[in-house]
């Protein structure tokens, strides 16, 4: 894990959200690639989606899930050790170290029973980790409950990813509104429409413009459907190794440039 020496006092929080199947985890992996290649490190990536697969797109293996630690804390905390110390030790062990970034994976949703203490401890530990990184990037489930559990009350940028469909765009609008009920302060909410076909239907473009007008979403851009991404995922190749001249890499870099060039 990265040390706090010469690091910012607190990491800026970035988050991904979107309904299932929009490719938000792919966009998340490409954002990690973007930040690492531009030296905006270290980054802590948190895979908070119940269907955890960010590690696969980054070429990493997972041995420990944070969700498992919550259950183990109840029964395996050694005598003389506080539950907080136990979780902190194992959360640090669960951190997967990579080049320029680290990754932690939340794992499956919680089972029956009260996890209030575990969630509180997790929030405290994450608060401490935030002092060791430049960015914390959370790949979230659509409901974004993990933002509350991680005590991430301020998000620098929330990227809401949609597919090229009316339902995807309307879901993106609902997700943007959901942050208000969670009492999460968001600096920018950015809509990205992923896997776009070559020809954009005029009706869909109208719907996107209408959603942007009626909500506080900023329009980030369109990301084209990519055969290269498709093949990389089938071959289980890390998206971090995609050449910079790949169309989807260039497109996402242009989108990210809009929001990071002036925010450092």
CA trace torsion 73, 79, 85, 89 (10° rounding): -70
Alpha-helical segments (H) within the chain: 24-37, 54-57, 66-76, 83-94, 116-129, 145-149, 166-181, 202-214, 227-234, 247-260
What does the domain layout of the chain look like in residue ranges?
A: 12-260
Dump pLDDT digits (tens) for 179-189.
877 777 899 99
CATH number corresponding to 12-260: 3.40.50.300
* Residue 130, pLDDT above cutoff 50: yes
pLDDT on residue 109: 58
pTM: 0.89
pLDDT on residue 5: 43
């Amino acid at each position: 894990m990265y040390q706090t020496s010469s690091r910012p006092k607190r990491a800026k929080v970035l988050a991904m959200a979107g309904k299932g199947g929009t490719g938000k985890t792919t966009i998340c992996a490409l954002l990690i690639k973007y930040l690492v290649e531009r030296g905006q490190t270290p980054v802590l990536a948190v895979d908070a989606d119940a269907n955890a697969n960010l590690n696969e797109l980054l070429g990493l293996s997972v041995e420990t899930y944070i969700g498992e630690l919550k259950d183990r804390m109840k029964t395996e905390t050694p005598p003389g050790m506080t539950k907080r110390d136990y979780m902190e030790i194992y959360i640090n062990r669960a951190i997967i170290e990579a080049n320029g970034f680290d990754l932690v994976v939340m794992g499956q949703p919680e089972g029956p029973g009260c996890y209030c203490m575990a969630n509180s401890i997790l929030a405290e530990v994450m608060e401490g980790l935030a002092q060791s990184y430049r960015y914390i990037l959370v790949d979230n489930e659509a409901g974004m409950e993990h933002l509350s559990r991680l005590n991430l009350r301020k998000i620098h940028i929330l990227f809401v990813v949609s597919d090229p469909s009316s339902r995807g765009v309307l879901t993106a609008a609902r997700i943007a509104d959901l942050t208000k009920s969670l009492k999460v302060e968001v600096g920018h909410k950015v809509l990205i429409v992923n896997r776009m076909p070559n020809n954009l239907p005029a009706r869909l473009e109208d719907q996107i413009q209408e959603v942007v007008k009626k909500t506080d979403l900023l329009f980030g851009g369109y990301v084209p459907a990519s055969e290269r991404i498709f093949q990389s995922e089938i071959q289980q190749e890390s998206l971090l190794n995609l050449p910079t001249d790949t169309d989807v890499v260039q497109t996402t870099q242009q989108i990210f440039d809009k929001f990071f060039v002036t925010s450092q």
